[in-house]
Amino acid sequence: MNIDLKGLKIAIIGGNSPCKQILEILLGPGLKELELQVLLIADTLTQVEGIKYAQEKGVSVTMDYGQICKLSGIDVILKLKNDEILSCILEKVNTEHVSIIDLDAHKAKAFLNFLQAEEERLRIKRKIQSDKVDRLEIVKLFDQFTATIQENAEEENRHLKDEKEDLIEMEKELSQIIQGSMIPTFIINNEHILTHWNRACEDLTGHNAYELVGTDRQWVPFRSAKRPTMADVIVGEMSEEEVSKYYGGAWRKSGLIDEAYEAEEFFPHLGEEGKWIFFTAAPIKSPDGKVIGAIETLKDLTEDKKTQEELELQDKELSTLYDKYKKSGEIYRSLFNNNPNPIFIIDHQTLEILDVNNRVVEEYGYRKTELLGTSFLDFGDKSDETIEKALKGLVEDQSILFTKKKHFKKDKSSFFVNVKVVNTTYSHRDVLIASATDITESVEKETQLIQAGKLATLGTMAAGMAHEINQPLNVIQICSDLILKMIKKGLKIPDDELVIMANDIIDNVARAAGVIKHVRDFARQSERDLKKLIINDPINDVFKVLGHQLTVHSVKVNLDLDPQIPEIRAEHNRLEQVFINLVTNAIDSMDEKAEKQDALIEKNLSIKTFVEEGWVITEVSDTGIGMTDEVKSKIFEPFFTTKETGKGTGLGTSISFGIIKDYKGTIDIITEYGKGATFIIKFPAIE
């Protein structure tokens, strides 16, 4: 660190321990000849030692950070604090004339070392310029100064070594996360060399990591001749024309990840009969914004396509079965027993099982005699009272479809089914015919897609999460440094101050641990296990990971959450994903409006919850660009983009729509182009 201190006018933000140490040097006799001035110290806390010392020395202090921006003739701002509001306030500073030096715990120590060295240099200079110094004393002074510089350099080297070890440890953790992911994933560096190829990728392609890692042959599992993978396209920063040259119309910009591309293609070289693969590639960037690599994820769609065809065929067969059942008991019995789907005949009033086909016995593992007379509800979630009510409410020839319900086999293992139930007459008896279709694989793949969306969301929020963790770490560092310094100086720390610092450390450890736990909980793949919950909880959790982004984008948040709101039946993890999507879309919309108007606009985000006529309702409103009627009619279609720049494809909104629909909810939009939008989400309240 090398700064010309001569005549500088300085302001300091943050009155903690480093502030006092810096002031002692700046205001002391050692730098007096440099004629520098400390104009103002700003901190919202008035009892910190830097503020107290400044007041003793007659330096102006303030609790209003905005006063810093109003100072005239200021040269340097030393920033020792990380309040979220500071980034917005310091944007007003004219950085062409004022330097802002951001000093974290390590940089503050380095700056102190610089000041001490400068103080020592001036002292030696004064000695040399005096008439009384002799040659031996000059050598001694030079040795002292050299020793100080060397000690500072060694301390910097130790810090760099620690940072290097931390980076190596982070690389190990990243490799473990990628290797353990169920999603096929590979990574290349900025020279197109493959660095990671996880086990899921090995299983999908049949090619082992040791064959490919360290080479540029990531194309081999997919092509018969060399051609760029989508990750190579990202690293090469190819133009859209170049991408179309290789992928034609099969590619598009990702709706989940900024600057990412995705495509769907059939690869005849994968497996015995070829595979349909959906793949997404996104850039990996250095802190200065340079592309240093790319990550590509793959999803096998082959079974999804086959499952869709089978479901359509089975629905057609069930319709035929019902018609023939009315005409002929013998034909009905044959088709009934040989139908590929489990079929139950159920008493309409008691919901007891009257008859089952052979497929039920095979799928559920019970003997037929064990099933007859038992309740159909015993196979599913007994806490879901809506199924019993809906079944008993069916009238003649009316049908109902229950989607993605968890059923249990005799061995207690679970699987997911779609259950279609129709009310009819069987042997002059009012009955229900229920057909169950196993959709476990489809649900698991959908869960993986939602999980990929979560991981992408966490990637975009990485800077915010780092900020949330760094704040408590800075407090812990400052308190620890102060305690150690006072112990080394042999000073007794007053009991009340020691208690305050200990409580600060405990509180901030808990805060950092809470942030990390929440990120882990959000990233964890959730099972389809509907529980009773208060919708306010996932809404509040959104701001644990988006608080920093809202501050950076100058968004004012107004929460009006009904504390007496009834419970709904859903999954906390996935509802949080829905509201994260709505909030990030609102931020983008308000930023887009500000860009189009080329002016500062008031960015307001409002979230309100209330109950009305048996529905739990959430309204998410923003003051963004809004939508036209055409955009509004297509907003929930997969891959439809609402961003004029083409940065998104709308897949995130489509996923959110699917999650809301899964929980028997609805979503509506009230919007006017240029005047913002309000999303209204409704879920049935639990009675």
pLDDT tens digits along 633-649 = 777 765 565 655 445 54
pLDDT average, residue stretch 112-132: 79
Higher pLDDT, 247 or 548: 247
pLDDT at residue 683 tops 90: yes
**Over 90: is that where the pLDDT of 566 sits?**
yes
Averaged pLDDT for residues 499-525: 65
pLDDT at 644: 54
Phi, psi of 272 (to 5 degrees): -80, -35
Rounded-to-integer distance, Cα 468 and Cα 551, Å: 12
Which domains occur in the chain, in start order?
9-133 (3.40.50.720), 185-300 (3.30.450.20), 306-438 (3.30.450.20), 526-687 (3.30.565.10)
Reading the block at residue 668, the tokens are 């509506």
Other beta carbons less than 10 A from residue 564's beta carbon: 7
61 band by pLDDT with thresholds 50, 70 and 90? very high
For residues 453 and 79, which has the higher predicted lDDT (pLDDT)? 79
C-alpha distances in angstroms, 685 versus 111, 221, 665? 59, 50, 10
Task: Give me the mean pLDDT over the 681-686 stretch.
Answer: 92
Residue in 254, 246, 307 with CA at minimum distance from that of residue 276: 307
pLDDT band, residue 310 (cuts 50/70/90): confident
Instruction: Tabulate helix, strand, coil % of the chain (nearest 5).
Output: 50, 20, 30
Contacts for 323 with CB less than 8 Å, ≥ 6 apart: none
One-letter amino acid at 517 equals: K
Residue 254 has pLDDT above 90, yes or no: no
Q: 562 phi and psi, to 5 degrees?
A: -65, 115
Collect contacts of 543-546 with beta carbons under 8 A, ≥24 apart.
544/468, 544/514, 544/515, 544/518, 545/458, 545/461, 545/464, 545/465, 545/468, 545/518, 545/519, 545/580, 546/461, 546/464, 546/580, 546/583, 546/584
C-alpha–C-alpha distance, residues 539 and 590, integer Å: 20
Ranges 321-335, 475-489, 588-602, 650-664: which has the least confidence: 321-335
What's the pLDDT at 568? 92
Quick one: pLDDT at residue 649? 46
pLDDT for residue 272? 80
Kindly tell me if the per-residue pLDDT of 459 is higher than 60: no
Answer with the residue of higher pLDDT: 672 or 647.
672
Kindly report the backbone phi and psi dihedral angles of residue 660, in degrees, each rounded to the nearest multiple of 5, phi listed first. -60, -45
Stretch 76-105: mean pLDDT, rounded? 81
Among the ranges 82-96, 488-502, 533-547, which has the highest mean pLDDT value?
A: 533-547
123: which 2 tokens? 């002292």
Average pLDDT over residues 53-58: 91
- Find the helix or strand (DSSP H, E) in which 309 lies: helix 302-327
- Helical (H) or strand (E) element with 368: helix 368-371
Is 80 exceeded by the pLDDT of residue 320? no
In this structure, which amino acid lies at residue 213? V
Of 61-75, 288-302, 519-533, give the lowest mean pLDDT range. Answer: 519-533
| Gap between the Cα atoms of 504 and 17, Å rounded | 14
Burial (CB < 10 A; 0-12, 13-18, 19+), residue 229, is buried
**168-223 pLDDT tens trace:** 665 666 667 677 778 889 999 989 999 889 888 898 888 998 999 999 999 999 88
The contacts of residue 570 (CB under 8 Å, 6+ apart) are 530, 531, 533, 535, 663, 683
Q: Which residue has the higher pLDDT, 67 or 327?
A: 67
| Statement: residue 252 has pLDDT above 50 | yes
Mean pLDDT on 646-664: 70
User: What confidence tier does 268 reach under pLDDT thresholds 50, 70, 90?
Assistant: confident
Average pLDDT of the chain to the nearest whole number: 80
Q: Write out the two tokens for 677.
A: 């939008």
| Banded pLDDT at 159 (limits 50, 70, 90) | low
How confident is the model over 54-74, as a mean pLDDT? 88
Q: Is the pLDDT of residue 432 over 70?
A: yes
Whole-angstrom distance between the N-terminal and C-terminal Cα of the chain? 66
d(CA 433, CA 312): 19
Q: Is pLDDT at 560 greater than 50 in this prediction?
A: yes
**Per-residue pLDDT for 41 more than 70?**
yes
Over residues 423-438, the mean pLDDT reads 82
Beta bridge partners of 123: none
Question: What percent of the chain has a predicted confidence (pLDDT) above 70?
Answer: 77
Q: Which pLDDT belongs to residue 109?
A: 82
pLDDT at 605 over 90: yes
Q: Determine the Cα–Cα distance for residues 369 and 380; give it in Å rounded to an integer.
A: 19
> Taking the model in full, what pTM does it have?
0.37
**What pLDDT score does 141 carry?**
66
DSSP label of 616: E
DSSP codes of every residue in 80-123: ----THHHHHHTTS-TTT-EEEE--HHHHHHHHHHHHHHHHHHH
**Whether 354 contacts 345, CB under 8 Å:** yes
41: CB partners within 8 A, 6+ apart: 11, 12, 15, 19, 23, 50, 51, 54, 59, 60, 61, 62
